[in-house]
Each structure stands twice: as structure tokens, then as C-alpha cells.
Amino acid sequence: MKYSNRTSLVVAASLAAMLTVAGCHKHNPAPPPPPAPPATAPAPMATITATPSTITPGGSATLTWKTTDASNVSIVGLGQVASSGTQTVSPTQTTSYHLVAQGDGGTADATATVAVSGAAPAPAPITETGIDENAFEQSVKPVFFDYDSYDVRPDAQTTIQADANFLNQHPNLKVVIGGYCDNRGSTEYNLALGENRANAAKQALTSAGVSPDRLRTVSYGKEKQFCSENNEQCWQQNRRSQFTLDQ
Amino acid sequence: MILSPPRKPAVFRIFLFLALLAVGASGLQAQDWVRTGTNLGVSKIRIAAADFKAGSADPQTGGLKSAFDQTLYNDLRYAGIFDVVSKSMIPTATPGSPQEIQMAQWSATPVSAGYVAFGALTANGGHLAVQGFLYNTAQGQQNPQVLGKQYGGEATADSARQIAHRFADEIIQQLGGIPGIAETKIYYVSSRTGNKEIWVMDYDGMNARQLTHLGTVSLSPHVSPDNSRVAFSSLGKNGWSIRMYSLDLGRLTAFPEWGGMSLSPAWSSDGTKLAYSSARSGDPEIYMSDASGNGARRLTAFRGPDVSPVWNPKTNSQLAWVSGRTRLPQIYIMDSDGANISRMTDGGYAISPSWSPSGQFLTFAWDRKYGPGAPGGYDIYVMDIASKRWTQLTHDSGANDFPSWSPDSRHIVFQREQNGHTEIWMMLADGTDQQQLTHGGGSNTMPNWSWK
């Protein structure tokens, strides 16, 4: 019973606070309507460059973009991005990156192209039976997610593309996509979130040409972890969709 | 002034506390506080439990008697409606019958008991017999006997504890006005075998027993209102599905696999319906079906996780659940046809709702300051549904989750993680009298209180 006095006081105080707050709310006037947007918003501007603009197969280039007066900035194929930024890309074939900046004053866009020189090396003929779990995981890399999010990040698009390329070269392989979460938060909620992560990876692979019939999702939530430290590096390792052979 | 003074008895505090939460600023007066359906008086009853008299010299008697005495004492103490005379203060006399009790010993200070429970326990040839009495200690009564009961069973410690629970529930029913919880069970998940399996224990943490032996990951047990079945979710070759364990048959029974992840089953209080989360559409949504898994209907349709549904046990016409539709999970309620969705929490990370038997309150786990990089600690809260007023029950004691109401509305069982270990605790519904029920041997999580 050692808590009793303190608890009663806390309860009394918090209830008193609630009553006061509730009383105040009753007398609050209706909030003013939100201010209308300015009649003439400045038109957005957008620029994007790729350095270098030509790469060899397997190489990478850096995209650098800048926008002004835009509230919604995206690069086609990479999704939503910050209003200004840089990102490393490794396209396997010549690719144009189309920057779109939308704001109250209209839309602006710009394009940078990364050319891939020479023919891509012919893929080594791999027999389906020669692929074990290790070889598979060497080739089909996991996709990582932001905290409490199941959106495939722009920086995961290259991973998804490489994973899809491998799976498209090995059409007989079937895949389990495991959805994983870091160890914070609720067991049940994380299982649902892990399912959303696995499904987001499945949809990204499907968009990249992999038949959904070959892909099966299982959420592991926070039930199976890749590491167990309580720091952001480990949490990030655990927030993933992991691909394994469906045997 | 309707605030509780600090020295009011515990039972008064709890229900004043819940009722205040409920009536809030609506200006109702004191007589309206007692609207929690618990039918309680406003003063805590002072009661003494005498050590029972050993009725035979059978060598088993000593152990059985101490199991019985301790269980009865704890049951009265945990009930939340008594001021129980401490063991160190009770008279050494062990009256075995009304003829042997000297009432003045129990009514005088410092014992000052208003009621006294006493009796005799006899082990004989493998059989246990208990005579239990409850007497009003007030002088000059026509009929001081409140209860006189006889119980029989096997001469085992478990049987002695079960008889003590039955006698305690009789006392609690008689003096507290509603059935006690001493005979209830708690279903939970334990990893003490190395795998997360479904277990059951008595409400006081004793008599733990493993139900499933699936060797995988089994979670979220929810017992049916008639105590005949336990629904839970389990990881199999094809992902998560809902499984059904028959307590009558002592084994798993057939239950449909719908395809797609199925999680967190919850019974309606009439036992005819289940609500659960299913990702058969590719996105986890809330569904309901009949108790055999047929006639599934989808209730939610919004991108993002929807999980952990519970029914309003008073009406079975509403559900509370957790949705990530605005990103961080929040508690929502809706009608059981999916209409009239209302968000209950205003931010943070809010999960694991349990609906009070009266239909009036939700308890849930909440981290109001949750954010990227923040440690994952959270506490148990109670909210009055009509006003959305809430109050915090746990403070500065690890990460608390999965609260579940007791059938008497007076208690909440929950899990607490401290120093890397997760154990099951219970407390009174105002957050006081916190008791740890499990002690190691792996993690003990996701408690679910039986309906009776």
C-alpha cells in the first residue's frame, strides 16, 4: 500500500487538471478558418545533374538536384525525395532520371541521363539446381525500411531492380519474402507492420516484372531478429524485407 | 469537491477513480459516482483470516494447511475490497468451529476485524475435507454466521489451493456484492521451453500448465467466454494462422486456414463471434466471423496495419482496435459493421486495447512520447470511452503492454519488461497493489484474463 497516498494525490491532481481543461474547451470560440493560400505563389524551379553522365556496367553515378518553392518533389522511379539532395545510382542500362517539383505556383521538371557504355556482360548461365540458399542471398539482397514505415525507400530501388533482374533470369525460383521489424513496440502491431513490409517488397518486385505467383510473404514482426542491440544501427538491420528460397 | 481524499479505503478509491473518469465535467453529484456496475459500498471491510485448525494428525495435513492458509490470505488481500489483518497481527488461536472461537479476540484492537474467516482442514486417507466459516464479529448479534461451507477434494496442495479459492470467492461474493476472481485463470505466452507456447495459470500465478506443444511461435491467446476453447495465432509453414485449442479435449481442433496472415483473435462475450486481423487482401485488416471461422466479413478498408481487435463485451456491437492508418499506431473504435469509426488516442504509440466488462472503459498501452530513436518504454492507461478522458496507471517501471481486464472490473493483468526480462503482473484498476505473477524461466507475455 505504499503507493496509495501518492497515487491518490496524482489521481486527484490529474482529474482536477482534466476537469479544468474540459471546462476551458467548452468556452473556446470556434477556431478561425485557415488562411487562404497567397494569390500568386512563386513558380517552382528544378535542376538535376548526373556525375559522371556516362558509366561502365557496374559503375555508379551521383544525382544532384535542387528545387525551390516546391512542396512535393519526386524523381520518377525513385519516388518522393527531399527538396534538394544527392543520391548514388547504379543503373544497368542507360536511364533518364526525371525530377518533378510541384508547388502552389505550379510544376517544374528537369531530367538527367546516366548513359551506360558498352554492352552489358552476358549473364553467366546459372542452372537453377546450382543455387543454394547462400548463393541466393548473395544475389537477392534485403530491402531496408524507415522507422514505423513500410514504404520502399528511394535508395532501395536499385536493390529491388537488381533482385528483380536476378529473379527474372531464374524464372523457376520461388521466393519467401519475410517482413521484419525492430524490437521496439508491440508484438501484434509489429507483425502487421512486417506483413505490410513484405507486401511492399512483393509489389516492388512485381512492378519490376517478377510474377507474383512466385512470391510468398511471411511476417516475422519482432519475433526473429538479425541483431539484438538497442541502437539505431541494429534497429535498421532489423527493419527489412528478407528474401529466401521457397523450398 | 468531488476529489478523493488520500486516506479513503482502496475499494472506494478505485471506483471513485473510475467513476470520476466517467462522469468527468458533466457536473453529476456524488450519488452518481457508483455507476460502475460493481455495486460496492464506500468503505473497505476489515477482515481477518485465521490459520485453519488441523483436523487430523495425518502427516500430509501440515503442507496442505499451509497451502490453504496462504492462498486464502492472498485471495482476500488481492480482492481489492478488504483491509486484511496482517499475518503478524492475527491471534495465534486456530478455532476450528464456531464453538471454539472467542470473538472478542478478533474484534478488539489491534486486530479490529469486522469479519473473521476460520475453520478446520482434515486430510484422511488421500481425501481432504475443509469446513470454512465467516462470522461477523460485532457484539450481540442474533446470527453472527455469514457463511458456513464444507468442501472436499483430493489431498494435494493444488486441491487445497482450489478449495481456498472457492471459499475466498464465496466471501468476496457475500461481502463485495459481485463474484470474485479467485477461481479465474490467466492465459499467456511463455518461452520457458525455448519456444513461445500457450500456457495457463491460476490468477495468482500458481499452477502454471503448458497447453500447446507446437515448437514454433504461438501468440495472443484469448479464451472463449465459456472457458471451453482458446483461440490464438501461430506461425506455421504458410505463415500466421488462427488456431483453436479445446480445453475440454486437451488438444488442438480443426479451424479454417484462410490464406494470408491471420492474427490476434478476440471473442465476443456471447461466444458466437470472433474478430481478428487478416492480410488475405494483402493488407492487414479487421475481419469478423462466426466462432467456427465461417462467414468472414471484412470491417476495415484502409492502407496500413489494422490489428488487435476487441469487442465491447457489454453490447458486442462495437470493437476497439489498433490502426496505423495515420502512421504511428492509435486506438480506434467502430461499430461491428465497420461504421462510425472514432479515433480514441491523440498521438504517440497506442496499442493493445482491452475493453472493460462494464463496456465503459478501455485499458491499453501507450507511449505518449514515442518517436524515432526514443527508447521503447510504455505504460498502461485507462480511458473513459464516452469522454475520451484517460489516466496513467503505471509509472517509471519498465515497458508495460497487453493489459487485460479481470471479470470483476477491479483488476488488470499486464506484461512488464524490465532489465531484458518480461513477466506478468496484475494490479488494481487504479494502478495500485501491483503484484508480479510469473518469475522467470523465459519470457512470460500477452496475458488474457478468463471471463469467469
ipTM for the assembly:
0.89
CB < 8 Å to B3, chain A: 12, 15-16
Pairs of CB atoms within 8 A across A/B: 141
Sign of the alpha-carbon dihedral angle for B21, B27, B30, B32 = negative
Chain B residues with beta carbon closer than 8 angstroms to that of A192: 261, 263, 277, 279, 284, 305-307, 324
Shortest distance, CA B36 to any CA of chain A (angstroms): 17
Q: Helix (H, G, I), strand (E, B), or coil: what is residue B279?
A: coil
Closest by CA to B406, choosing from B212, B243, B178, is B178
| Position with higher pLDDT, A5 vs B93 | B93
Distances in whole angstroms, Cα of residue A245 to Cα of each of A128, B121, B394: 11, 64, 45
Query: Can you list the residues of chain B whose pLDDT is less than 70?
Result: 1-42, 371-377
Output the pLDDT for position B405: 97
Contact B324 A186 (CB under 8 A): no
First-residue to last-residue Cα distance in chain B:
37
**Alpha carbon B366 to chain centroid distance?**
19
Which residue of B24, B263, B376 is in closest CB contact with A185?
B376
Amino acid at B369: K
What is the distance in angstroms between the Cα of A121 and the nearest Cα belonging to chain B?
A: 37
Mutate to test the interface with B, among A15, A28, A191 (most CBs of B within 10 A): A191
| DSSP label of A239 | S
The C-alpha cell at A109 is: 521538371
Q: List the B318-323 sheet strands across, edge first.
A: B306-311, B318-323, B330-335, B342-343
- Indicate yes or no: CB of B17 within 8 angstroms of CB of A22: no
Cell numbers describing residue A123: 549473364
Which residues in chain B touch residue A219, judged by CB atoms under 8 angstroms apart? 239-240, 261, 279
The nearest alpha carbon in chain A to B241 belongs to A218
Residue of A nearest to B366 (CA): A185
Between A9, A23, A218, which is nearest B6 by CB?
A9
Number of CB atoms found within 10 A of residue B314's CB: 15
**Contact residues for A193 (Cβ-Cβ < 8 A; gap 6+):** A148, A150, A179, A181, A219, A221, B305, B324
8 Å CB contact between A27 and A86: no
Whole-angstrom CA distances from B423 to A27, B363, B401, B419, B441 are 46, 18, 11, 11, 10
When pLDDT is averaged across residues A198-209 and rounded to a whole number, the result is 97
Q: Is B193 exposed, middle or buried (0-12, 13-18, 19+ CB in 10 A)?
A: middle
A176 reaches B (C-beta below 8 A): no
Q: With 80 as the cut, is the pLDDT of residue A129 above it?
A: no
**Of the partner residues A5, A192, A220, the one whose CB lies closest to the CB of residue B305:** A192
What pLDDT does B14 receive?
59
What is the predicted pLDDT for the residue at B450?
98
Task: Give contacts of A 142-161 with B, CB under 8 A.
Answer: 147-150
Split at pLDDT 50, 70, 90, the class of A3 is: very low
The answer to whether B256 touches B249, Cβ cutoff 8 Å, is no
Concatenating the DSSP letter of every residue in B401-421 gives EEEEE-TTSSEEEEEEEETTE
Is residue A17 within 8 angstroms of chain B, CB to CB? no
The helix, strand and coil proportions of chain B, stated in percent and rounded to the nearest 5, come to 15, 40, 45
**DSSP secondary-structure letter at A71?**
S
Q: What is the pLDDT of residue A102?
A: 76
Q: Does A12 contact B24 at a Cβ distance shorter than 8 Å?
A: no
Contact B324 A193 (CB under 8 A): yes
Higher pLDDT: B44 or A111? It is: B44
What is the torsional sign of CA A183, B188, B168, B11?
positive
How far is the C-alpha of B283 from the C-alpha of B285, rounded, in Å? 6
Contact between B378 and B370 under an 8 Å Cβ cutoff? The reply is yes
Q: Which helix (H) or strand (E) holds B237?
A: none
Four-residue CA torsion sign, B61, B66, B69, B74 = negative
Contacts of B434 in chain A (CB under 8 A): 3
| Beta carbons within 8 Å of B116's beta carbon, 6+ residues apart | B47, B48, B49, B50, B101, B103, B106, B134, B135, B137
pLDDT greater than 50 at residue A22:
no
A223 and B196 in contact by Cβ < 8 A? yes
pLDDT for position A144: 97
Do B427 and B434 meet the contact criterion of CB atoms below 8 Å apart? yes
